[in-house]
Structure 1
Amino acid sequence: MAVQAIIFYLLAGIVVLSAACTILARNPVHSVLWLVLAFFNAAGLFVMMGAEFLAMILAIVYVGAVAVLFLFVVMMLDIDFAQLRAGFARYLPFGLLVGTVLLAELVLVVGAWQFGDLAPTLRSAPVTAAAGMTNTEALGSLIYTRYVYIFQAAGMVLLVAMIGAIVLTHRQRKGVRRQNVSEQVARQPDEVVELVQVPVGQGVDVK
C-alpha cells in the first residue's frame, strides 16, 4: 500500500504541476507539451484505479489526436498573442468573478459527493456488470445501450470542433493558385488535348 500511495501522489502531483504550467506558460507550444504530460500522468492514475480502457483512450485519443491537433492549430494560426494579452487587465475582474463562481460550485459538488448521505449509492456503478465481464466490456455495454445518444452527441461536438479548426486554418493567400476540383472534373479531353499533324522533317512552333 505504501508503494501505491507514493506512486499515486507522484502522478497526481505531476498532473497538478503540468496543469498549472499549461496555464502559466507564455509560449502556446510549451502549453500544449505540458498538457500532453498531464494527460500521460492522468492515464497512469486511471491504470491504478483499474480503468485500463480509459487510460488507453486518454493516451491514444487525447495525446495522439487532440493534443497534436492543438499543437498544429497553434503553429498554423498566425495569432498575435500580444494583441490578445492587451485586454487582459481590463477583463481581469470579470475573469476572477467567473473563476470564483466555478470554484464555489466545484467545492459544493465535491462536498456533497464526499459527505452526503447518499454518497455510497451515488458512487456505485449505474449498471451491475455481469459475471465474468471485464472492465472494458462493461464500459462498452453501458455506453452503447443507456448512454448511446449522449455518446453520439459527443461525437458530433468533436466533428464540429474539427471542422472549425479546418475553417480557421483554410485562409486565402494572394499569389497562390488554388485547385478547383469541380472545374477539373468537368473538363473534356478536347478542351485540354490538341492533336497536331506534323509533317516529316518540320518542327512545331511553340505558342
Structure 2
Amino acid sequence: MIFEQIIFYLFSAVLVTAAVGMVTVRNPVYAALCLILSFFTSAALWLLLEAEFLGIVLVLVYVGAVMVLFLFVIMMLDLNIDPLKEGFAKYAPVGFLVAGVIAVEMIMVLRSAPFQIATPRAPAPENNTEALGAILYTNYVYPFEIAAVILVVAIIAAIVLTLRRRPDSRKQDISEQVQVKREDRVRLVKMKSETKEQA
C-alpha cells in the first residue's frame, strides 16, 4: 500500500466519523463543528484527487463563510435542545430504516451501467480551474445563478430570525420622542435653602 492510499483511507475514516457525529450529536454547536471537520477532510480528499480549486473553495467558502454564519445564527437564536433530546430514542428506528434504504439505493445506483466505465477516460486538462470556469459559466450558468439567489435568501432569513422581537428588548420610538413636551420630562421641585444654623 502506497503512502497516498494510506492518507486517503485515513482522511476517509475521519470524514465518515465526522459525518456520523454531525447527524447523531444532540448539541447543534457540536454538530456544526463536526460539519466543519467533514468539510476540511473533504477538501483534503479533493487535493489528493488533484482538484485543488474545489478543495480551496470548499475551505474558503463553506468553512470560512457559511459555517461561520451557521454558528452565528445557532448561538444568536439560543436554541432550546431539550425537546430534541426527548424524541431521539422514539424516532431512532425510523431514522435507521431510512438511512438503510438510502444506502441500498446509493449502492444500486453506483453499480448500474453508467457508472461502470470500461474504457479509459481522456486525460484531464492541466488547469482544472480554467476547465471548471468554462463549464460553470457556459453549460451551468442558470443553476449557478439560482444557487446564488438561494444563498442570498438564506442570508436574509438568518438576519430575520436573529432580529425577531423579544419582550425584554428596548426599542426606540422616534415619534414619541419628537412629540415630547417639557412637562413630560422635567419636574421642578421647590426646596427651602439651607442656612448655617440648620446645618
TM-score, length basis structure 2: 0.76
Name 1:23's counterpart in structure 2: 23
SS in 1 for 2:111: helix
Q: Aligned partner of 2:128: which letter?
A: N
Name 1:146's counterpart in structure 2: 139
1:166 to 156, 159, 164: 159
SS in 2 for 1:104: helix
Name 1:71's counterpart in structure 2: 71
SS in 2 for 1:50: coil
Deviations 1:161-187 (A, max 9, x none): 22222222111123534468xx79xxx
Q: Which has the higher contact order (CA 8 A, sep 6+)?
A: 2
Name 1:155's counterpart in structure 2: 148
Name 2:98's counterpart in structure 1: 98
TM-score, length basis structure 1: 0.73
For structure 2, the 5+ residue unaligned runs are 180-184, 187-199
Instruction: Measure how far apart 1:87 and its partner are.
Output: 2.9
User: 1:1-207, aligned counterparts within 5 Å?
Assistant: 2-112=2-112, 116=113, 119-120=116-117, 134-178=127-171, 207=186
Deviations 1:69-123 (A, max 9, x none): 11111111122111123233443444334323322221111222xxx26632899
Distance 2:23 2:65 in 1: 20
Q: How many residues align?
A: 180
Distance 1:93 1:83 in 2: 18
Deviations 1:19-57 (A, max 9, x none): 122223333222222221111111111011111110011
Distance 2:64 2:32 in 1: 12
**Rg larger in 1 or in 2?**
2
Quick one: structure 1 residues 179 and 61, their matched pair in 2 at CA, closer, same or farther if it must change by over 3 Å?
farther
Quick one: structure 1 residues 117 and 137, their matched pair in 2 at CA, closer, same or farther if it must change by over 3 Å?
closer
Quick one: structure 1 residues 2 and 123, their matched pair in 2 at CA, closer, same or farther if it must change by over 3 Å?
same
Quick one: structure 1 residues 21 and 123, their matched pair in 2 at CA, closer, same or farther if it must change by over 3 Å?
farther
SS in 2 for 1:9: helix
Q: Aligned partner of 2:54: which letter?
A: L
Name 2:193's counterpart in structure 1: none
Identity of aligned residues (%): 45
Distance 1:168 1:124 in 2: 48
Contact kept, 8 Å, 2:27 with 2:81, in 1: the verdict is no
Distance 2:114 2:2 in 1: 30
- CA RMSD for the aligned pairs? 3.1
Name 1:198's counterpart in structure 2: none
Distance 1:77 1:122 in 2: 53
Distance 2:118 2:163 in 1: 50
Contact kept, 8 Å, 2:26 with 2:81, in 1: the verdict is no
Q: Aligned partner of 1:138: which letter?
A: A
Quick one: structure 1 residues 15 and 178, their matched pair in 2 at CA, closer, same or farther if it must change by over 3 Å?
same
